Amino acid sequence: MSSTASTPSPDRPLIELPAAQAVWKVAWPMIAIGMLKSAYFLTDSYFVGLLGPKHLAALGGAAFAWWMIWICTDLASVGTHALSARHEGAGTSEEIRPVLAQGMWVALCVAAALAFAAYPIRHVYFDLLGFAPDSEEYRLGMEFLGASLLGAGTLCLSQVIGAVFRGLGDTRTALQIATVTLVLNAALDPVFIWTFDLGIAGAAWATATSNAAGALFGLSLLMKRSLGPARVGPAMAAMRRIFKIGLPIAASGVGFSLVYVFLSRFINDFGTQHMAGLGVGHRIESLGYMYSIGMMTGVATMVGQHLGAQNPAMAARCAHVGATICGLSLLPMAAVLYVSAPALFEFFTDDPVTAAAGVHYLRIQLLVLALMGVEVAYEGAFSGAGDTMPTFWITFVFTGARIPGAWYLAYELGWGIGGVWWAIAISTALKGVVIPLWFARNKWTTALET
pLDDT tens, residue by residue, 246-268: 999 888 888 888 888 888 878 87
Handedness of CA 324, 327, 333, 339 (dihedral sign): negative
**CA 399 from chain center: how many Å?**
16
Residues 6 or more apart whose Cβ sits within 8 Å of residue 28: 171, 294
Of residues 193, 197, 373, the one with CA closest to residue 286: 373
Longest dimension (CA), the chain: 74
Given a cut of 50, whether residue 2 has pLDDT beyond it is no
With b for 16 or more beta-carbon neighbours within 10 A and e for fewer, the 303-322 pattern comes to bbbbbbbeebebbbbbbbbb
What does pLDDT average to over the chain? 89
Average pLDDT on 29-41 reads 79
Q: Residue 190 and residue 193: Cα distance in Å, rounded?
A: 5
Tell me the backbone φ, ψ of residue 230, rounded to 5 degrees. Answer: -65, 145
Q: How many residues does the chain have?
A: 450
Helical axes 53-61 vs 19-49, angle rounded to 10°: 140
Q: What confidence tier does 161 reach under pLDDT thresholds 50, 70, 90?
A: very high
pLDDT for 230 equals 92
129: left (phi over 0), alpha (psi -120 to 50) or beta: alpha
Say how many C-beta atoms besides its own lie within 10 A of residue 404's C-beta: 10
**Of the given ranges (32-36, 161-165, 202-206, 332-336), which has the lowest mean pLDDT?**
32-36
Q: What confidence tier does 3 reach under pLDDT thresholds 50, 70, 90?
A: very low
Q: What share of the chain has pLDDT > 90, as a percent?
A: 67
Say how many C-beta atoms besides its own lie within 10 A of residue 104's C-beta: 21
Helix, strand, coil percent values for the chain (each to nearest 5): 85, 0, 15
pLDDT for 335 equals 97
pLDDT for 11 equals 59
Given a cut of 80, whether residue 6 has pLDDT beyond it is no
Of residues 146, 121, 141, 120, the one with CA closest to residue 131: 141
pLDDT for 149 equals 97
Q: What confidence tier does 53 reach under pLDDT thresholds 50, 70, 90?
A: confident
Say how many C-beta atoms besides its own lie within 10 A of residue 188's C-beta: 22
Given a cut of 90, whether residue 445 has pLDDT beyond it is no
Q: Residue 177 and residue 159: Cα distance in Å, rounded?
A: 11
pLDDT tens, residue by residue, 327-348: 999 999 999 999 999 998 887 6
Q: What confidence tier does 43 reach under pLDDT thresholds 50, 70, 90?
A: confident
Of residues 386, 380, 319, the one with CA closest to residue 83: 386
pLDDT tens, residue by residue, 358-417: 899 999 999 999 999 999 999 999 999 999 999 999 999 999 999 999 999 999 999 999
Given a cut of 50, whether residue 4 has pLDDT beyond it is no
pLDDT tens, residue by residue, 113-151: 999 999 999 999 888 877 788 988 899 999 999 999 999
Q: What confidence tier does 1 reach under pLDDT thresholds 50, 70, 90?
A: very low
pLDDT for 5 equals 36
Q: Residue 80 and residue 168: Cα distance in Å, rounded?
A: 11
